[in-house]
Amino acid sequence: MRLGIGAIFGVALLAGAGAPAAEGQVYKATPIMGIAGPEDFELLPDGKTLVVGQFRRPPVPGGLSLLDTSADTLLPLPIVNNPTAGWGEAGCTAPTHIGAHGINLSQRADGRWQLLAVNHEGRESVEFLELIGSGPATRAIWRGCVISPDGAYNDIAGTKDGGFVATIPTSAAVFAANAGKAPMDGKTNTGYLVAWHPGKGQVRLPNSDAPYNNGVQVSPDGRTAYFNAWTGKEVRRYDIASGQVTGVIKLDFRPDNLTWTKDGALIAAGTDESATGPNCPQLDGMCALGFGIARIDPRRFRATPVFTAPPGVMVGVSVAILVGKDFYVGGFSGNRVVKLTAAQ
């Protein structure tokens, strides 16, 4: 369902990775209602259809859907089970339901399109799905999975060999040491990165500890991981071969997920926690904090603000993705997606 026009905002828009900002760009914010917990997005090869990872928040089970941006309508993603060797750990059985969190779309070495989904429904796992068809007619085949040996995954990025790099935001040890709670002060390291590769299992990546490891992406050559330290308001660049953080970007908001643009830039989005309190505007029955979007040039590893919204526009912002000239903004809570359309 597509609904009416919201607020009008003036913001800066970047023309491309490393390009100067075009100051004064104006966006129209339009809510697309009835989409529960649209925590993460991936753009299909048609350039118009989004896979939506809808975050599980009981009693809402979460799941995977398609958003047809030509009409801004939500569609089901049909899934059938067909376990296949080479997709995840041998013997890993199909879930009863995928309570999605972070998702990632990548092309395997054989050319097939692989969707990875972090699952919190009944188990902590990464589910491997193959996407068949195109656009709004896309369907999925569940091929396999990997069960987490330590804590819940948050986000995931596929690698060419059929493996992945993932974030563990809070380890089991940290939970145990803090009475079942995750320190959220932005200074305490709570999580880390892991890598899983076929036939090798999962390993913890050295020197990747951070304050609440969140969104992650891997460079096309597989050499570099980019991940968010959510409570620390940082995006970090990590060299996978050397096991070292090679750069840190400080932001004015808590970066949640990362998405790629067609020209090879990264988009970070997240909430501005400074507006918490009794006067926070309510949307969908929850506090609607302000949020920010930044564009990151991976080559120079620099960030430029793209959009800043005051409180009251959306709940729990966790992701922004560029579709044509429009941004689609999702959140881990609430019941809407916000579409930011550049004014002519």
341 pLDDT more than 90: yes
End-to-end CA gap in the chain: 24
pLDDT at residue 336, rounded to an integer:
96
**Does residue 180 fall inside a structural domain?**
yes
pLDDT at residue 22, rounded to an integer:
40
Which amino acid appears at position 24 of this protein?
G
CATH code of the domain in which 43 resides:
2.120.10.30
- The beta strands (E) that lie in 37-189 are given as 38-43, 49-54, 63-68, 73-76, 79-81, 100-107, 113-119, 125-132, 139-147, 156-158, 164-168
Q: What's the whole-number mean pLDDT along residues 240-266?
A: 98
23 pLDDT more than 80: no
**Does residue 319 fall inside a structural domain?**
no
pTM here is 0.93
Q: b/e for 192-217, b at 16 or more Cβ within 10 A?
A: bbbbbebeeebeebeebbbbbbbbbb
pLDDT at residue 275, rounded to an integer:
67
**Does residue 310 fall inside a structural domain?**
no
pLDDT at residue 272, rounded to an integer:
94
Q: How far is 292 from 253, CA to CA, in rounded Å?
A: 6
DSSP β-bridge partners for residue 259: 267
pLDDT at residue 53, rounded to an integer:
98
* pLDDT tier, 343 (very low <50, low <70, confident <90, very high otherwise): confident
75 pLDDT more than 50: yes
Q: b/e for 79-99, b at 16 or more Cβ within 10 A?
A: beeebeeebbbeebeebeebb
Instruction: State the average pLDDT for the chain.
Output: 91
Which one has a higher pLDDT value, 3 or 259? 259
Torsion of CA 39, 214, 105, 320, to 10 degrees: 50
DSSP β-bridge partners for residue 21: 14
Kindly list the distances between the CA atom of residue 307 and the CA atoms of 156, 283, 320, 341, in Å, as whole numbers in the listed order.
Answer: 25, 20, 10, 12
**Does residue 164 fall inside a structural domain?**
yes
Residue 306 and residue 12 in contact, taking contact as beta carbons nearer than 8 Å: yes
**Nearest CA-CA partner of 326 in 308, 336, 339, 344:** 339
**Does residue 309 fall inside a structural domain?**
no
pLDDT > 90 in the chain, percent: 85
Q: What is the DSSP string of 42-64?
A: EE-TTSSEEEEEE--BTTB--EE
Q: What's the whole-number mean pLDDT along residues 205-214?
A: 98
Residue 40's CB is within 10 A of a number of other CB atoms, namely: 31
Burial class of residue 55 (count of CB atoms within 10 Å of its CB; 0-12, 13-18, 19+): buried
Which one has a higher pLDDT value, 58 or 55? 55
**Does residue 119 fall inside a structural domain?**
yes
**Does residue 6 fall inside a structural domain?**
no
SS3 content of the chain, % helix, strand, coil (to 5): 5, 50, 45
**Does residue 188 fall inside a structural domain?**
yes
Least confident of 14-28, 131-145, 199-213: 14-28
**Nearest CA-CA partner of 144 in 156, 129, 159, 124:** 129
Kindly list the distances between the CA atom of residue 229 and the CA atoms of 168, 236, 241, in Å, as whole numbers in the listed order.
Answer: 11, 7, 20
Q: Give the neighbor-by-neighbor strand order of the sheet with 290-297.
A: 254-260, 266-272, 290-297, 302-309
Residue keyed to tokens 């896309």: 138
pLDDT at residue 24, rounded to an integer:
59
13 pLDDT more than 80: no
Q: How far is 253 from 156, CA to CA, in rounded Å?
A: 21
Q: What's the whole-number mean pLDDT along residues 125-141?
A: 98
* pLDDT tier, 98 (very low <50, low <70, confident <90, very high otherwise): very high
pLDDT at residue 213, rounded to an integer:
98
Assess whether the previous peptide bond of 61 is cis (omega < 30° from 0). no
Q: How far is 209 from 239, CA to CA, in rounded Å?
A: 14
242 pLDDT more than 60: yes
Q: What's the whole-number mean pLDDT along residues 51-63?
A: 87
Q: How far is 207 from 116, CA to CA, in rounded Å?
A: 25
Residue keyed to tokens 């919190």: 120
Domain carrying residue 168 = 36-303
**Interacting residues of 324 by C-beta distance below 8 A, sequence separation 6+:** 47, 48
Count of domains in the chain? Answer: 1
